[in-house]
A and B are shown apart, each in its own frame.
Chain A
Amino acid sequence: MPDGQEVVEKQAKSEIIAPGYTFGTVTDQISAVVLTKKTPLFWVACFGVGFSLLLVFLWAVALLLAKGVGIWGIRTPVMWGFAITNFVWWIGIGHAGTLISAILLLLNQSWRNSINRFAEAMTLFAVACAGMFPLLHLGRPWLFYWLFPYPNSMGVQPQFRSPLVWDVFAVSTYATVSAMFWYVGLMPDMATLRDRAKNRVARVLYGMGAMGWRGSAKHWSIYETASLLLAGLATPLVLSVHTVVSFDFTIAILPGWHSTFFPPYFVAGAIYSGFAMVLALAIPLRSVYGLQGLITDRHLENAAKIMLATGLIVSYAYIMETFLAWYSGDIFEEAAFWHRMTGPYASTYWALISCNIILPQALWIKRIRTNPVTLFIWSIIVLIGMWLERYVIIVSSLAQDYLPSSWGYFHATRWDWATFAGTVGLFMFLFFIFIRLLPMISIFEVRTLLPQARVKGA
């Protein structure tokens, strides 16, 4: 079919970056956000909100350290409550950043060059927020280092058969590799900022960050190798980290948790919520800073398509989960799902189904998918839906397990909400500092997307 082939050819030729950009204007536009442009009111407002919520977080944590985890609503039998819900939610959000930076790099999806930098930053800060919850949930957070195997004077090592210990390794590896990947990618851009900054202090600081980057061919060659290797390291982490997180549930024998398809279902859910967060960040940022030429509508549409695809995987998982609860013939499993759908958490369950399955189907419609405003609203819906998903899995399963005599109901306290809102504040605080101080789009990688960058006859 020559006609069909021609269409494919044409699409491949169309540029992802808006026409009219040159190498110089790309660098100008991105570095100006940090170096010369006036800080927009939007930044001040978001940073202000983030900082205020961060203070709420510090207050909540201080109270937690003084009084203990009892200030949260965790009571037997629901001892995981908000803490683990928030942990899984945040760590899932991080996954999109790694998927964009590592997997899409290895798959040669060069359009990701416009969004990988801030998506990786999002990963780092989301992991930082995620890490708060298991630590604070320990009860004695100052003894967190007991989770690591070190030659301690107790003569015991962590229980390696426990998925909670696997979590420690999965998440700390993830944080380390993500940080390294992000930083290695930043070095050439820091050198650009060092060379463009007028302020002496800024030049020295960016210069230290650039670690002597001069942009020689040797530097670039080492850089390419390093970033490929790190991408290779990060790729399995996209799948492994949330798999291990799902083991926290599946290894337990609790009805509603003990299930073999949690790992793929959790990974899909993580990428689902992660892309929602990427959109929720990209859409306001690009309009405030006028970056629509670099983060184009095509980027948003691609992200929306990934969201739709992973959303379908998640929907499939919900349907299979419910089907298997019935098909297994296990009365406890059956009861657990029946409780979810009709019990005290029914409203949460149906809200989750609406947010994660029903409403996102609107993304099939191109008008919704390509309109930034509707897409922003939909990304928020998905973020809420994915939070509700973790809440339902954790709270409803724990609240009603095998023994009706031990059933309970989870009531979140104001400190549960304060801690959760506080980590949202921590995330915004870190993210907007990043936006202000570092290039939010990778300058040198976007330049490779320009038509001028293509080498003739190669």
Chain B
Amino acid sequence: MSQIFHRSTNALARFTIFGAVFVLAFLGWAMEMIDRGSWETRAVQVRQQPVPFSHAHHVGGLGLDCRYCHTTVETSSFANIPPTKTCMNCHSEIWNTSPTLEPVRASFRTGESIRWTRVYDLPDFVYFDHSIHVNKGIGCESCHGRVDRMPLMWQNASLQMEWCLGCHRSVQDHIRPRQFVTRMGYHPPPGVSQQEIGQRLMKEYHIQDVRTLTSCSTCHR
């Protein structure tokens, strides 16, 4: 009886069996990468806005405090988007004929809000409160990154759950004294380690233990 398979199929069989391991491993790796990549999370992608507002200029250049515009951040779950009036405090005087700022003036005239594009949009099943974070010494920078270097705003983190938990599991590595909450590029004073400050502030601010901070119902209420 003639052979059904040519000799070369032996090699082919071995190659496909052992190759399958690598193919599966590669697929697993690729899916992990896609899951965390910026294509999926939209992290570090610049979003277009109706007015090209530059945080780099206003925060980095002029040194405005975050709270000058985002006034409710210390008292509310939501860090508000400032009303057009806040812009007009200055822009009624300076750059008041700039064509770029025409949408701002139009908004001021008509009373209709500017429709900014939301950059940090958490899923609706997540309960997030700005005030608790700010009041317990978590800096704006910790989540929003170096806003003072962003000409246009981008989402500086994946906003995936592992990113949230990364901090909730080790608060002492991220906490800072309350007065430095809005400071960009904060570093612990020379000679003192973050660990030391972290441990002290955790006690001082009565930060809950990791078990509570990582409990499901802390964020999913």
Q: Does B20 contact A (CB under 8 A)?
A: no
- B13, B28, B163, B166: the one contacting A211 at CB < 8 Å is B13
Q: Does B160 contact A (CB under 8 A)?
A: yes
Known A-B contacts A194-B4, A195-B1, A207-B4; A153 and B13 likewise in contact (beta carbons under 8 Å)? no
Known A-B contacts A156-B161, A156-B165, A204-B4; A151 and B10 likewise in contact (beta carbons under 8 Å)? no
Interface string of A195-210 (1 = CB under 8 A from B): 1000000011001000
Which B residues, 145 to 204, have Cβ-Cβ distances below 8 Å to chain A? 158, 160-166
Q: How far is the CB of A214 from chain B (nearest CB, A)?
A: 11
Which B residues, 1 to 48, have Cβ-Cβ distances below 8 Å to chain A? 1, 4-5, 10, 13, 28, 32, 35-36
| B residues near A204, Cβ cutoff 8 Å | 4-5
The complex places the Cα of A207 from the Cα of B1 at a distance, in Å, of 14
- A153, A155, A203: the one contacting B4 at CB < 8 Å is A203
Q: Does A225 contact B (CB under 8 A)?
A: no
| A residues near B35, Cβ cutoff 8 Å | 152-153
| A residues near B36, Cβ cutoff 8 Å | 153
| A residues near B165, Cβ cutoff 8 Å | 154-156
The complex places the Cα of A211 from the Cα of B14 at a distance, in Å, of 10
- B1, B4, B13, B162: the one contacting A152 at CB < 8 Å is B162
The complex places the Cα of A90 from the Cα of B5 at a distance, in Å, of 40
Give the residue name and chain of the B residue nearest to A211 (CB). Answer: B13
Q: How far is the CB of A356 from chain B (nearest CB, A)?
A: 41
A154 touching B162 by the CB < 8 A rule?
Answer: yes
Give the residue name and chain of the A residue nearest to B158 (CB). Answer: A153
Q: Does A236 contact B (CB under 8 A)?
A: no
The complex places the Cα of A155 from the Cα of B157 at a distance, in Å, of 15
Give the residue name and chain of the B residue nearest to A153 (CB). Answer: B160
A153 touching B10 by the CB < 8 A rule?
Answer: no
Q: How far is the CB of B174 from chain A (nearest CB, A)?
A: 15
The complex places the Cα of A156 from the Cα of B162 at a distance, in Å, of 7
Q: Does A212 contact B (CB under 8 A)?
A: yes
The complex places the Cα of A153 from the Cα of B32 at a distance, in Å, of 8
Interface string of B90-123 (1 = CB under 8 A from A): 0000000000000000000000000000000000
| B residues near A154, Cβ cutoff 8 Å | 160-162, 165
The complex places the Cα of A346 from the Cα of B5 at a distance, in Å, of 63
Known A-B contacts A204-B4, A207-B5; A155 and B161 likewise in contact (beta carbons under 8 Å)? yes
| B residues near A212, Cβ cutoff 8 Å | 5, 10, 13
A151 touching B32 by the CB < 8 A rule?
Answer: yes
Interface string of A150-165 (1 = CB under 8 A from B): 1111111000000000
The complex places the Cα of A154 from the Cα of B35 at a distance, in Å, of 11
Q: How far is the CB of B2 from chain A (nearest CB, A)?
A: 10
The complex places the Cα of A195 from the Cα of B36 at a distance, in Å, of 51
Give the residue name and chain of the B residue nearest to A203 (CB). Answer: B4
The complex places the Cα of A206 from the Cα of B166 at a distance, in Å, of 53
The complex places the Cα of A139 from the Cα of B158 at a distance, in Å, of 27
| A residues near B32, Cβ cutoff 8 Å | 151
Which A residues, 131 to 159, have Cβ-Cβ distances below 8 Å to chain B? 150-156
Which B residues, 58 to 107, have Cβ-Cβ distances below 8 Å to chain A? none
| A residues near B162, Cβ cutoff 8 Å | 152-156
The complex places the Cα of A127 from the Cα of B92 at a distance, in Å, of 73
The complex places the Cα of A156 from the Cα of B163 at a distance, in Å, of 11
| A residues near B5, Cβ cutoff 8 Å | 204, 207, 212
| A residues near B4, Cβ cutoff 8 Å | 194, 203-204, 207
Which A residues, 382 to 413, have Cβ-Cβ distances below 8 Å to chain B? none
Of A155, A194, A207, A212, which is in contact with the most chain B CB atoms at under 10 Å from its CB?
Answer: A155
- A150, A153, A203, A207: the one contacting B161 at CB < 8 Å is A153
| A residues near B164, Cβ cutoff 8 Å | 155
| A residues near B163, Cβ cutoff 8 Å | 155
Q: How far is the CB of A309 from chain B (nearest CB, A)?
A: 42
The complex places the Cα of A154 from the Cα of B220 at a distance, in Å, of 13
Q: How far is the CB of A427 from chain B (nearest CB, A)?
A: 29
| B residues near A153, Cβ cutoff 8 Å | 35-36, 158, 160-162
Closest 5 CB pairs of A and B: A155-B162, A154-B161, A155-B165, A153-B160, A207-B4
11 A-B residue pairs with CB within 8 Å = A152-B162, A153-B35, A153-B162, A155-B160, A155-B166, A203-B4, A204-B4, A204-B5, A207-B4, A212-B5, A212-B10
Binding site for B on A (CB under 8 A): 150-156, 194-195, 203-204, 207, 211-212
Known A-B contacts: A154-B161, A155-B161, A155-B165. Give 19 more (CB < 8 A): A150-B28, A152-B162, A153-B36, A153-B158, A154-B162, A154-B165, A155-B160, A155-B162, A155-B163, A155-B164, A155-B166, A156-B162, A195-B1, A204-B4, A207-B4, A207-B5, A211-B13, A212-B10, A212-B13
